[in-house]
Amino acid sequence: MQSKTFTLIQLKVTLLLLGFTLCFSNLTYAKAKPVVYAVTGTVTDGVDGSPLLGVTVMVKGGAVGTATDMDGAYSIEVASAEDILVFSYIGYQTQEIVVGSQTRIDIAMSDNAETLNEVVVTALGLSRQEKSLGFSVERVEGEELTRVTQENVLNGLAGKVAGVTINSTGGTGSSVSMVIRGATSLSSDNQPLFVVDGVPLISTLNNITEFGSRNPVDYGNAISDLNPDDIENVSILKGPSAAALYGSRAGNGVVLITTKTGKKGDGVRISVSSNTVFDQPIKFFKRQTQFAPGFFSFTPDDLPPGSVLTVNESEGAGAGIELDKGYFAVQWNSPRDANGVQVPTELVSYPDNVKNFVQTGVTTTNTCLLYTSPSPRDRG
C-alpha cells in the first residue's frame, strides 16, 4: 500500500516538473523573439513646411533604412523602444530621435548654415552667398596650388576644377592656356579674364598667331608673373552670367585671385621652401628626313651640265632633292673658298637633330616668406 502511494507521489512530482519546464521554455522563447513594429511619419522643411523627398531615415547602428516619398512620408520597422532614428538630408542638419513608445514621428528639418551660407566674393569686392548666385562657382585654396610647386600658377589648377582645360603651349616659362567650358570662338584665344585683388588683368597667349620662321618668341603670359606661394585662394566664375559682372571681357569666364594679407599673430615667422622640377620629352613627333626643302624633287642629271645644285631652306615644303644619295649642293652652312664662293657639300639627313638638341630642363624655385605682426603688448 505504501509502495503504491509513493509511486503515485513520484508521478505527480514528475508531471509538475515537466509542466514547469514547458512553461520556462515558452517564456524563454517569447523573450528571445523580439517584437517588431512600424514607425511612420512625415519629414518637412522647417521654414515653409513643404514635404522633403528623399530624406534618409536609418536605425542608428543598424542596416535598416528607408527614404521619404514625394509627400515626405516614410515607414520603418524598429525592434525596441531604445532604437534611435537618424534623419539626414543634403543641406539640412542631421537629427536623431529616440523611438520610445511613439509609433508616429514627424520631423521638421532645419537648414545647415555651414553648407548653405558660404560667401563668395564676386565683383568689385562684393560678397554674396554661393546659393544665391545664378552661375557656377568653384574655389581652390592656396594650399592646393603649392602642394606640388609649379612655375606657373595655372599649372597648379590643372585637374582641380571641373570643366576647365589647362595646357602648356611650350616648355618652362611659356604661355599656359586656360579654357573654361570649352572654346567659344575661332578668332580669339578663349582665355578668361583674370582679376587679382579687384584689378582686371588680361592674360593672352603668345606664340600662337603666326607660322614659320617669323613666329615670335613666347616669353609667357601675364599670369605667369604671380608667385603661387602668395595666393590665398582662387575662385572661378563660369557661364555667361559671370560676364555681366565685368562686361564683355569676361565672356570666357572670370578667375578671381586673392593674394595673402597680414594676419594677427605674435612674433616673426619665416617660411622657406625649395622645389626642383626636371623636364624631359616623352615623345618626339615623326618628321620626314628623306628629302631636302623644296617644292619639286629632282636629281643632278635633270639639270644642265655644269650646274651647281642649291638648296633653299626658306622653301617650307619637304619635297626637294633626295638626301643620303651622294648628291652635293650649296647649303646654308656650306664653307666658302678663297674667292668667297660657297662650296657644295654632301646632302645628308639628320633624323635625330631635334633629339640631340633638346636637353633635360631643370627648373628650381626657391621661396622665402617673412611673416610679422605686432604682438598684443606692442599694440597696447
- In 3D space, the residue among 119, 151, 150, 113 whose CA is nearest the CA of residue 133 turns out to be 119
Of 134-148, 220-234, 300-314, least confident by mean pLDDT is: 134-148
Count of CB atoms within 10 A of residue 219's CB? 11
Domain boundaries, the chain: 1-29, 37-113, 119-261
HEC readout, 59-105: ECCCCCEEECCCCCEEEEEECCCCCEEEEECCCECCEEEECCCCCEC
Task: Pick the more confident residue, 5 or 176.
Answer: 176
> Does pLDDT of 380 surpass 60?
no
247-253: long-range contacts (C-beta < 8 A, 24 or more apart)?
Answer: 249/193, 249/200, 249/202, 250/192, 250/193, 251/184, 252/179, 252/180, 252/184, 252/185, 252/190, 252/191, 252/192, 252/193, 253/180, 253/181, 253/192, 253/193
CATH topology match: 37-113 vs 119-261: no
* 363: β partners: 277
Q: Please tell me the predicted confidence (pLDDT) of residue 32.
A: 44
Tens digits of residue pLDDT in 166-183: 887 666 777 888 888 887
Query: Contact 349/325 with Cβ under 8 angstroms?
Result: no
Q: Please tell me the predicted confidence (pLDDT) of residue 274.
A: 83
The domain over range 119-261 is classified in CATH as 2.60.40.2240: no
Contacts of 155 (CB under 8 A, 6+ apart): 166, 168, 176
Task: Pick the more confident residue, 111 or 373.
Answer: 111
Count of CB atoms within 10 A of residue 358's CB? 13
Overall average pLDDT of the 355-375 stretch: 79
Task: Pick the more confident residue, 327 or 114.
Answer: 327
Tens digits of residue pLDDT in 97-113: 999 889 899 999 988 76
Residue 51 in grid coordinates: 514635404
* Cell 585637374 found at: 159
Tens digits of residue pLDDT in 275-324: 888 888 888 888 888 888 888 878 888 888 878 888 887 777 778 888 88
Q: Please tell me the predicted confidence (pLDDT) of residue 6.
A: 43
Q: What is the pTM of this model?
A: 0.50
CA distance 269 to 13: 91
> Does pLDDT of 20 surpass 70?
no
- In 3D space, the residue among 94, 75, 76 whose CA is nearest the CA of residue 86 turns out to be 94
CA distance 38 to 235: 48
> For the chain, what is the mean pLDDT?
77
Residue 122 in grid coordinates: 564676386
Cα torsion angle, 90, 96, 100, 101, sign: negative
* Percent of the chain residues past pLDDT 70, beyond the cut: 75
Overall average pLDDT of the 253-278 stretch: 78
Tens digits of residue pLDDT in 35-81: 678 899 999 998 888 999 889 999 998 888 899 998 999 999 998 88
CA distance 2 to 251: 115
Burial of residue 30 (number of CB atoms within 10 Å: 0-12, 13-18, 19+): exposed
Task: Fold for 37-113, please state it.
Answer: Immunoglobulin-like (2.60.40)
Q: Please tell me the predicted confidence (pLDDT) of residue 205.
A: 75
Confidence class of residue 225 from pLDDT cuts 50, 70 and 90? Answer: confident
Q: Please tell me the predicted confidence (pLDDT) of residue 374.
A: 56
Q: Please tell me the predicted confidence (pLDDT) of residue 30.
A: 43
